[in-house]
């Protein structure tokens, strides 16, 4: 079915969202502070307006993807959103989302907060995730249109802040691994080995890494810290090896220093012979 959709914000992400909607024959109206970014989309069949009021009134479904929530507030200062379904896809904190939800609701709109866990080029693919939270009615009404943007729509509840929390938690998990990987690259480089091959190997063992995260999450949830298969002390020792390799290979090691600092706190608290999940007791 052909729906009217307005897309507010045509940066790297917003322009791809609008492009996908136009390609799937939706009736798309776009708005962007810098008009030039709409030119290509207009050629493809989108309507452009430089008037935010006109852009919002053109469609019952309004998708926002600008820099952040502060910019969204600036843009929506006086705009009438009564009866609209507003979907915020800019990245923010749970508190940002709660405030936006309260503001949009007070003006008579249905509000859905979304968080995209992908790059622009990954949009439109079946395995691309977007988290959503807030109005379930808004989610159900817009699901068919949202499916055009990403295949994996993860509705995580009515609490408006939930999607942002999931997104930041997923980003933390991903970048935590990335920083570990960056140090791994320095180890490989210091031995004159192949960085691309390291990337391939990590990709190949990613189900094993995922399994470790999953079982650690279960341990945390159940406060199950005792009788480990590999103790926290054994994990800490691998970071001592990394420190020694860094000295021998003459490379900087901020990541192992950071991790070993936490391991030493856990050791000092007497968690050495517990499960790795016991690290949570230090972090809390
Ligand atoms: P860009 O920097 O490419 O685009 C930023 C957008 O915000 C532009 O449309 C820009 O307008 C607009 N903007 C910035 N400041 C103002 C302002 N003061 N008034 C009006 N408009 C303003 O960012 P992206 O498109 O990459 O990202 C947009 C959102 O999507 C962000 O929240 C980002 O976190 C999120 N996101 C991005 C991902 C990515 O990989 N790119 C991945 C997942 C989420 P103008 O064109 O006029 O400058």
Q: How many Å apart are CA 191 and CA 92, to the nearest integer?
A: 40
User: Is the domain of 18 the same as that of 96?
Assistant: yes
CATH number at residue 200: 1.10.1040.10
Distance from residue 67's CA to the centre of ligand 1 (Å): 4
Would you state the pLDDT for residue 9?
98
Distance from residue 157's CA to the centre of ligand 1 (Å): 26
Please state, as a whole number, how many other Cβ atoms lie within 10 Å of the Cβ of residue 223: 11
Structurally, how many domains does the chain consist of? 2
Would you state the pLDDT for residue 191?
98
- The closest of 84, 209, 190, 169 to 135, measured between CA atoms, is 84
Residue 235 lies in a domain: yes
Instruction: Tell me, using a 6 A CB cutoff, whether residue 14 lines ligand 1.
Output: yes
User: Is the domain of 127 the same as that of 42?
Assistant: yes
| Ligand 1 atom 12 nearest Cα | 66
CA separation (Å) from 140 to 10, 133, 146, 216?
A: 25, 11, 10, 34
User: Is the domain of 10 the same as that of 150?
Assistant: yes
Instruction: Tell me, using a 6 A CB cutoff, whether residue 130 lines ligand 1.
Output: no
Please state, as a whole number, how many other Cβ atoms lie within 10 Å of the Cβ of residue 32: 21
Instruction: Tell me, using a 6 A CB cutoff, whether residue 119 lines ligand 1.
Output: yes
Instruction: Please give the helix or strand (H or E) that residue 30 lies within, else none.
Output: strand 27-31
Radius of gyration (C-alpha) of the chain in whole angstroms? 23
| Ligand 1 atom 21 nearest Cα | 33
Distance from residue 161's CA to the centre of ligand 1 (Å): 20
Domain boundary (116, 135, 156) is at 156
**Domain containing residue 104:** 4-156
- The closest of 67, 62, 68 to 97, measured between CA atoms, is 68
Residue 161 lies in a domain: no
Instruction: Tell me, using a 6 A CB cutoff, whether residue 121 lines ligand 1.
Output: no
Tokens standing for residue 275: 């499960």
Domain boundary (156, 186, 202) is at 156
CATH number at residue 143: 3.40.50.720
**Is the ipTM above a cut-off of 0.90?**
yes
Domain boundary (156, 185, 206) is at 156
Instruction: Tell me, using a 6 A CB cutoff, whether residue 71 lines ligand 1.
Output: yes
SS3 246: helix
**Mutation choice for ligand 1 from 66, 164, 167, 175, CB with most ligand atoms inside 8 A:** 66
User: If you search the block for the tokens 């009788």, which residue do you land on?
Assistant: 227
**28 and 46 Cβ atoms separated by less than 8 Å:** yes
User: Is the domain of 210 the same as that of 77?
Assistant: no
User: Is the domain of 15 the same as that of 136?
Assistant: yes
Q: How many Å apart are CA 238 and CA 260, to the nearest integer?
A: 9
Nearest atom within ligand 1 for CA of residue 68: 32
pLDDT in tens, the chain (284 residues): 899 999 999 999 999 999 999 999 999 999 999 999 999 999 999 999 999 999 999 999 999 999 999 999 999 998 999 999 999 999 999 999 999 999 999 999 999 999 999 999 999 999 999 999 999 999 999 999 999 999 999 999 999 999 999 999 999 999 999 999 999 999 999 999 999 999 999 999 999 999 999 999 999 999 999 999 999 999 999 999 999 999 999 999 999 999 999 999 999 999 999 999 999 999 99
Distance from residue 272's CA to the centre of ligand 1 (Å): 45
The number of angstroms, rounded, from the C-alpha of 96 to the middle of its chain's C-alpha atoms is: 15
SS3 37: helix
SS3 49: coil
User: Is the domain of 19 the same as that of 148?
Assistant: yes
User: Is the domain of 141 the same as that of 174?
Assistant: no
**Mutation choice for ligand 1 from 7, 13, 15, 122, CB with most ligand atoms inside 8 A:** 13
Would you state the pLDDT for residue 62?
98
User: Is the domain of 250 the same as that of 272?
Assistant: yes
Q: How many Å apart are CA 163 and CA 259, to the nearest integer?
A: 28
Nearest atom within ligand 1 for CA of residue 90: 32
């Amino acid at each position: 079915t052909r729906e009217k959709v307005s897309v507010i914000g045509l940066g790297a992400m917003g322009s791809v969202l609008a492009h996908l909607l136009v390609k799937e024959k939706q009736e798309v109206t776009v708005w962007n502070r810098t008009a030039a970014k709409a030119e290509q989309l207009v050629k493809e069949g989108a309507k452009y307006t430089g008037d935010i009021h006109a852009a919002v009134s053109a469609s019952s479904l309004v998708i926002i993807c600008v820099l952040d929530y502060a910019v969204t507030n600036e843009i929506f200062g006086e705009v009438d959103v009564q009866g609209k379904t507003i979907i915020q896809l800019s990245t923010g904190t749970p508190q940002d989302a709660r405030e936006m939800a309260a503001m949009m609701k007070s003006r008579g709109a249905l509000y859905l907060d979304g968080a995209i866990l992908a790059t622009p080029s990954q949009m439109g693919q079946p395995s691309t995730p977007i988290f959503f939270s807030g109005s379930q009615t808004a989610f159900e009404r817009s699901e068919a249109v949202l499916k055009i943007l990403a295949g994996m729509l993860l509705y995580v509840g009515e609490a408006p802040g939930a999607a942002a929390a999931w997104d930041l938690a997923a980003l933390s998990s991903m970048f935590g691994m990335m920083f570990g990987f960056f140090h791994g690259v320095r180890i490989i480089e210091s031995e004159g080995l192949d960085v691309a091959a390291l990337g391939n190997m990590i990709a190949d063992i990613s189900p094993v890494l995922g399994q470790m995260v999953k079982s650690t999450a279960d341990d945390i949830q159940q406060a199950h810290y005792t009788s480990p298969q590999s103790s926290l002390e054994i994990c800490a020792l691998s970071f001592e090896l990394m420190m020694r390799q860094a000295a021998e290979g003459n490379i900087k090691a901020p990541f192992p220093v950071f991790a070993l600092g936490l391991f030493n706190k856990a050791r000092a608290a007497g968690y050495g012979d517990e499960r790795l999940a016991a690290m949570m007791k230090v972090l809390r």
